[in-house]
Amino acid sequence: MATSSGKTSTPTPPASKRPLAKDPSSEVPSKKKSSAAPPLSLSGHFVEGSIVRILMENFLTYDICEVCPGPHLNMIIGANGTGKSSIVCAICLGLAGKPAFMGRADKVGFFVKRGCSKGMVEIELFRSSGNLIITREIDVAKNQSFWFINKKSTTQKVVEEQVAALNIQVGNLCQFLPQTSCKEKTEYLEKMVQRNERYKQDVERFYERKRHLDLIEMLEAKRPWVEYENVRQEYEEVKSARDRVKDEVRKLKDGQIPITRRIEEIEMQRHNLEAQIKAKATDIKETSQKCKQKQDVIERKDKHIEELQQALTVKQNAELDRQRRISNTRKMIEDLQNELRTTENCVNLQPQIDDITNDLRRVQDEKESCESEIIDKLKERETLEKEKKSVNDQIVQFDNLLNQKEDKLRQRYRDTYDAVLWLRNNRDKFKQGVYEPIMLMINMKDNKNAKYIENHIPSNDLRAFVFESQEDMEIFLKEVRDNKKLRVNAVIAPRNSYADRAPSRSLNELKQYGFFSYLRELFDAPAPVMSYLCSQYHIHEVPVGTERTRERIERVIQETRLKQMYTAEEKYVVKTSFYSNKVISSNTSLKVAQFLTVTVDLEQRRHLEEHLKEINRKLQAVESGLIALREKSKHLEHKDNELRQRKKELLERKNKKRQLEQKISSKLGSLKLMEQDTCNLEEEERKANTKIKEINVQKAKLVTELTNLIKICTSLHIQKVDLVLQNTTVISEKNKLESDYMAASSQLRVKEQHFIELDENRQRLLQKCKELMRRARQVCNLGAEQTVPQEYQTQVPNIPNGHSSSPPMAFQDLPNTLDEIDALLTEERSRASCFTGLNPTVVEEYTKREEEIEQLTEELKIKKVELDKYRESISQVKERWLNPLKELVEKINEKFSNFFSSMQCAGEVDLHIENEEDYDKYGIRIRVKFRSSTQLHELTPHHQSGGERSVSTMLYLMALQELNRCPFRVVDEINQGMDPINERRVFEMVVNTACKENTSQYFFITPKLLQNLPYSEKMTVLFVYNGPHMLEPNRWNLKAFQRRRRRITFTQPSQ
């Protein structure tokens, strides 16, 4: 029995793989370094070359494993991945087979267990003269193998010879079937001739293209010389222009000297005139100051006269105004006395005034009361509006949280989100309750616990709609899935509610293990949603623990017998094995919550909406009260205005007579004062005229003095104007000279700048000429001091660096301008580009093939003579081997047909020959028929099924077994794909054939077998196991295990 290590879902410390091997007697073979011969009890049954022992160390899945097969049929059974095919690989590589033959890897180093630097395979073969032990050590780093025979170093070639001597052919599929599995020269000559004919036109095109490329090369060689000549001519022109500008600059500088001297003389004359003008200006200023003083005195005299005249006029006007006011006052007194006489005596109006005053006081009190009530109502409204705003803000916050959940739903599951929008607009179509996706209905009490819910409920159910009736769900799915083509999920809540079911264990019992809640208590949801989750996912039975729970998880699993539980960061699932009753647990890390982290208290939101409705009702009542109070206040205000107007009219009637008497008395007093205030106008006029005459005498004297000063000032002005005119003439002449000087200077600067530009251009062209000359020489492969050959010469009068050169000539047949050269270059390049797909090697190959054709023609003549001789010899040899081959195929056909007949099917094997002369195409053709209604068909990958091909292959190998003697055969998973009937029949044939006396050793590898198959005493069954708790090979004892199993079986009923 062979075993290897593996892993289970329960976390355990890693264990190294320790495979075992057992023989049918269940006795554990000791781990031997070598073995000269098998046990005496077995040596009589093995045929020459059979495998007695297989030892693997650090090979594929094995750390160390020793397999001791039986002499006849060996059934190697084990689950996929346990290491069955590893034994096949060990046989192949241990007997000098190629790694590629296994179909796993092309390098032997890949067969060493990962992480190990070396591996070893040891095969012990039965031999009557003494067993043969072949050891192959594999070095991963060097990808090399080291060979040993009977623990002595040897070579692979010696091993291959020893293996071949025992008639072992690892590469022969009939013995070892792994799981993956002169005319010519004449034709060659004809092909070469045809190819040369085909390439002949390409060669001609190649040479034509080469002519165009040569012309392009000549044009590209001439172009730098022409470009150089153009730049050199431009250089000469720029140099001549620079010399001309240099002479002009010198002439302009000489012409500026006289102008500069004349400007200096005029500048001295201008300074003298400006000094004289300045002196005259000072005299004029002093004289003007004196004139100004005289004018000021005269103006003051005029002003004094004007003031006297104005004072007299004022007194005259005041007297006229007094007379007019006296007349007006007398008329007013007369009118008031007439009005007083016509006014009737007023009755006593005081009682009416008192009544109106009392009414006014009462109305004022009512107004104050009403305004006080309005203020109270306004304060109440303001308080309610603030409260309303606060409630609205809280509702908006809840809506924002709900929107966050809906946004996550829309981003991840757009179809589900669209279905939610449709449901909200079409709820009237449903008879019973319909609930939006569970992820929107669930409200976490603490968003930290969202990860438990999301890890427990699959995402398909989190986005499912919950219905209370089947009819509503069918209506919804028809509209959403069929009509709108939306991919949504829907579930039905149980008829009997599970929402309030109590858990099987009280939470108080589990708190000692660190559990703090069941999943159901972590969130709120509508009753049908909660009922569905309890029914489907048993959230009322799954507890949630802390980190303390994880630390004592083994104790929790053993003592609580919980099927599912959560710790702080992990989920544990506990199962009991159906076969062994062992408890198996698996744990997974919790994923981060994505959808349920947003917590919304829906009950609180409903209370807020009810509170908002109550606030709106109160606000409406307050508004109604305010409207009534404002109407009342408006009415009181109108009544107050009416009472005030009536009171005002009565008071005016009561005070009118007294006011008239007071006005008459006041006017009489004013009249008396105005009559007393008199003035003598004639005396005032005489005094004013006397003063005016005295002022006019003084004024005449001042005017005479002013006239003399004006004459002096005029004379000074005339002298100054004459000096200014002279200065203006001098300045004008100076400006003209300066203008001429500036014009000449500007022209000089322009010329100098032009000279600098020309000189820089000359330097640039000089460098460019040198660079073009260097490039032209480089293109023509000429050295710096080497003269230009005749074929490259062109007209060059002299070189810009100052050195003379003889005028050479070149490229006479090519264009002499850049445009013509560029045009011709473009044309030639276009022509050359038309010859695409040409390769210089084609010409070389064409020439070589021409030579080779000549050689082959001569050689074929010789080969034809030899061929005739060979044909005569072949016809003689053919008779000697073809007839025995046909007899051997006929024997195979007989065995093959018998095997198929025993299965109520038909099969044939014959020698397939397409052409008598094509010996390498001779082959074996297998034709089979699995149904009586069909004809025999050739065995191909397309006509028969996989199982039929496997049956045919197996029966063909069995037919070969008695005719082709070999020490052992290996078949890996040949029964895969067979139907049960054929697999049973083939198995019976294998057992009957392989368990006969003196038959080859047989290895049959399979991961599974049918039940109740026939077995032979000569069979050996090797089981391959793996797991983390495998025993060491020396501790394996099958009898002890059987006794222990019997004890367990006897004790189970009493428990």
Q: Are 415 and 487 in contact (CB under 8 A)?
A: yes
Kindly tell me if the per-residue pLDDT of 859 is higher than 70.
yes
Residue 179: predicted pLDDT: 52
Q: Are 405 and 439 in contact (CB under 8 A)?
A: yes
If you average pLDDT over residues 135-164, what whole number do you get? 88
CA 986, chain centre distance (Å): 58
CB atoms within 10 A of CB 147: 18
Q: Identify the CA nearest to 188 among candidates 648, 783, 856.
A: 856
Range of weakest confidence among 561-565, 582-586, 798-802, 1032-1036: 798-802
Residues 6+ apart with CB under 8 A from 801: 766, 769, 770
Phi and psi dihedrals of 968, rounded to 5?
Answer: -155, 160
User: pLDDT tens digit string along 386-417?
Assistant: 888 888 777 776 666 667 777 888 888 899 99
If you average pLDDT over residues 938-960, what whole number do you get? 73
CA 163, chain centre distance (Å): 61
Q: Are 465 and 490 in contact (CB under 8 A)?
A: yes
Q: Are 373 and 629 in contact (CB under 8 A)?
A: yes
Alpha carbon distances (Å) from 462 to 413, 490, 491? 11, 10, 11
Residue 175: predicted pLDDT: 55
Within a 13 Å sphere around the CA of 908, how many CA atoms are in the beta-carbon half?
9
CB atoms within 10 A of CB 417: 21
Residues 6+ apart with CB under 8 A from 472: 430, 431, 432, 434
Reading the block at residue 691, the tokens are 């003063």
Task: For residue 844, give the DSSP letter.
Answer: H
Residues 6+ apart with CB under 8 A from 559: 513
CA dist., res. 858 & res. 765, Å (int): 69
Kindly tell me if the per-residue pLDDT of 13 is higher than 70.
no
Residues 6+ apart with CB under 8 A from 527: 497, 499
Task: For residue 792, give the DSSP letter.
Answer: B
Render 827-857 in DSSP notation, one character per residue.
HHHHHHHHSTT--HHHHHHHHHHHHHHHHHH
CA dist., res. 1001 & res. 67, Å (int): 14
Render 45-71 in DSSP notation, one character per residue.
TPPTT-EEEEEEEEETTEEEEEE---S
pLDDT-based confidence at 476, cuts 50/70/90? very high
User: pLDDT tens digit string along 812-839?
Assistant: 667 777 777 778 778 777 777 776 666 6
Specify the DSSP element, H or E, that contains 466: strand 464-467
Could you tell me which residues are beta bridge partners of residue 136? 121, 147
Amino acid symbol at 716 = L
Phi and psi dihedrals of 316, rounded to 5?
Answer: -65, -45
485: left (phi over 0), alpha (psi -120 to 50) or beta: left
Residues 6+ apart with CB under 8 A from 952: 907, 926, 928, 939, 944
Kindly tell me if the per-residue pLDDT of 807 is higher than 60.
no
pLDDT averaged over the chain?
77
Residue 829: predicted pLDDT: 75
If you average pLDDT over residues 582-598, what whole number do you get? 84
Reading the block at residue 433, the tokens are 């309750």
CA dist., res. 94 & res. 968, Å (int): 14
Range of weakest confidence among 463-467, 600-604, 918-922: 600-604
Phi and psi dihedrals of 56, rounded to 5?
Answer: -125, 135
- Rounded to 10 degrees, the C-alpha dihedral 444/448/451/452 comes to -70
Q: Identify the CA nearest to 219 among candidates 822, 827, 833, 832.
A: 822
CA dist., res. 916 & res. 922, Å (int): 9
Reading the block at residue 879, the tokens are 């008779």
CA dist., res. 589 & res. 587, Å (int): 7
* Beta strands in 101-226, from DSSP E residues, in sequence order: 118-125, 132-139, 144-149, 152-154, 176-177
Angle at 765 between CA 764 and CA 771, to 5 degrees: 90
User: pLDDT tens digit string along 979-991?
Assistant: 777 777 777 777 7
Reading the block at residue 467, the tokens are 């219905």
CA dist., res. 225 & res. 229, Å (int): 6
Residues 6+ apart with CB under 8 A from 660: 336, 339, 340, 343
pLDDT-based confidence at 38, cuts 50/70/90? very low
Kindly tell me if the per-residue pLDDT of 422 is higher than 90.
yes
Reading the block at residue 985, the tokens are 């029949």
Strands ordered across the beta sheet of 906-912: 906-912, 923-929, 937-938
CA dist., res. 36 & res. 53, Å (int): 11
pLDDT-based confidence at 963, cuts 50/70/90? low
Q: Are 929 and 961 in contact (CB under 8 A)?
A: no
SS3 371: helix
CA dist., res. 669 & res. 278, Å (int): 75
If you average pLDDT over residues 2-7, what whole number do you get? 38
SS3 873: helix
Q: Identify the CA nearest to 104 among candidates 84, 86, 118, 122.
A: 86
Angle at 865 between CA 864 and CA 868, to 5 degrees: 85
Kindly tell me if the per-residue pLDDT of 29 is higher than 70.
no
Task: For residue 345, give the DSSP letter.
Answer: P
User: pLDDT tens digit string along 284-299?
Assistant: 888 888 888 888 888 8
Q: Report H helices in 457-506.
A: 459-462, 470-477
Q: Report H helices in 343-449.
A: 350-412, 414-425, 438-441
pLDDT-based confidence at 917, cuts 50/70/90? low
Q: Identify the CA nearest to 219 among candidates 817, 821, 810.
A: 821
81: left (phi over 0), alpha (psi -120 to 50) or beta: left
CA dist., res. 452 & res. 520, Å (int): 11
Burial class (CB in 10 A: 0-12, 13-18, 19+), 958: buried
CA dist., res. 576 & res. 521, Å (int): 28
- Token pair 């994880």 is found at 550
Kindly tell me if the per-residue pLDDT of 188 is higher than 80.
no
pLDDT-based confidence at 855, cuts 50/70/90? confident
Residue 63: predicted pLDDT: 84
Reading the block at residue 494, the tokens are 């149980």
